[in-house]
Amino acid sequence: MEILRRQVRCLLPQEEPGGHLAKNAPNRHRRRIVVIILQSDTTKLQYNSIIAKVEELGFTPHPIVGVEKTVIAVIGDKTPDKIEILASMVGVDRIVPIMEPFKLAGKEVMAEPTIIELPGPTYIGGERVAVGAGPCAVESREQYLETARLCKAAGAVFLRGSIFKPRTSPHDFQGLREDGVDLLQEAHETVGLPIVTEVMDPEHVELLDPVVDIFQIGARNMQNFSLLTKVGRTSKPVLLKRGMSATVEDLLMAAEYIIVAGNDQVVLCERGIRTFETATRNTLDISAVPVLKRLSHLPVIVDPSHAGGHRYLVPALAKAAVAAGADGLLIEVHRRPEEALVDGPQALSPDDFAQLMRELKGFAQAAERSL
């Protein structure tokens, strides 16, 4: 028991003489997180007992269920005695501290990759590269349904299309807004693909929740913390795009807001960052893919359309993303790109998209994935 006490004390910030925290200890006002790693043969009854004890001790439990292992992240101010109680419970393998600033999104809490399941079933993460396609904005019933059918025929496994569009100019097309909700529902029922659409305002979450399968948080809203918390309180997966000037850590901390609110179904999306370069719309940070996969258990996808800004760049960037280990792609496709109301120059035609899907198969195979 004394050995256990010594191990538990190592998990907590140490005090200097006089009762002050050591200089390298976490901020006294920051909630601390440790992870309870359960034994592989832990029963449901033992799991429920552990959760109940965590709550009884005044902590907030965040269970994260993997294919092979279940862990419980525990948030709150901890004392050695309380951790000792949890560490000694039947079904607990060990307790480890989380040192990274991003706690629940990091690999310290879950070494096993998270796989997001969508209706179909469709999976983001795992062995298959999931490709989502469709127009940036839903413009009309004919435009959206026709593009959706062509994307599915070419091999897309989920459909993009937004009815709320944040634009740089207030004079540009802002999307169909509330009038487009029924079109999203019709596309899902007609084509049979999961729908991802952008949500811009916390008030729109309840409006869109019944008709979409993935909430998209756009680059401009990556640090809209009220919105992140709102989608975090839903049960729908969230596709979180990296902000134009955001670091990798900024992106992971934004994901943390969603997970802390209760939703661990987060997909990270690299869509290019703003640099000094003017030849492309943004600069695709291809190195972010392996970095994120090293730091986080969350799946990582790439949007080559917004990164390049020109359709001739999309195939090369998409192939580079697959080669770098991306779990999926988000590609803009429009039935007639020259007529698109939003982002026409970067949208592929259906024929170009079908050709790209054929070419991507070899890259996926080389990366030991399928398409």
* pTM score: 0.84
Whether 110 is in a domain gets the answer: no
Q: Which of 351, 326, 321 is nearest to 153 (CA)?
A: 351
**Is the same domain home to 83 and 201?**
no
Whether 141 is in a domain gets the answer: yes
Whether 268 is in a domain gets the answer: yes
Please report which helix (H) or strand (E) contains residue 197, including its range: strand 195-198
| pLDDT tens for the chain, residues 1 to 371 | 444 344 434 444 443 333 333 334 444 445 578 889 899 889 999 999 999 999 999 998 988 877 677 889 888 877 788 889 999 999 999 888 887 888 889 988 888 899 999 998 999 999 999 999 999 999 999 999 999 999 999 999 999 999 998 878 887 888 899 999 999 999 999 999 999 999 999 999 999 999 999 999 999 999 999 999 999 999 999 999 999 999 999 999 999 999 989 899 999 999 999 999 999 999 999 999 999 999 999 999 999 999 999 999 999 999 999 999 999 999 999 999 999 999 999 999 999 999 999 999 999 999 999 99
**Is the same domain home to 203 and 347?**
yes
pLDDT at 67: 66
Largest CA distance in the chain: 73
**Is the same domain home to 252 and 190?**
yes
- Number of domains, the chain: 2
**Is the same domain home to 89 and 168?**
no
Which of 38, 67, 97 is at the close of a domain? 97
Which domain covers residue 49, as residue numbers?
Answer: 2-97
Q: What is the 3-state secondary structure (H, E, C) of 53-119?
A: HHHHCCCEEEEEECCCCEEEEEECCCCHHHHHHHHCCCCEEEEEECCCCCCCCECCCCCCCCCEEEC
Please report which helix (H) or strand (E) contains residue 362, including its range: helix 350-366
pLDDT at 346: 96
**Is the same domain home to 161 and 235?**
yes
**Is the same domain home to 53 and 122?**
no
CATH number, domain with residue 301: 3.20.20.70
**Is the same domain home to 184 and 267?**
yes
User: Which positions ≥6 away from 186 have C-beta within 8 Å?
Assistant: 141, 145
Phi and psi angles of residue 251, each rounded to the nearest 5 degrees, phi first: -60, -45
**Is the same domain home to 171 and 47?**
no
pLDDT at 30: 52
| Beta strands 130-134 and 158-160, pairing class | parallel
Which of 97, 131, 158 is at the close of a domain? 97
Interatomic CA distance for residues 40 and 21, integer angstroms: 36
**Is the same domain home to 198 and 227?**
yes
Single-letter residue type at 214: I
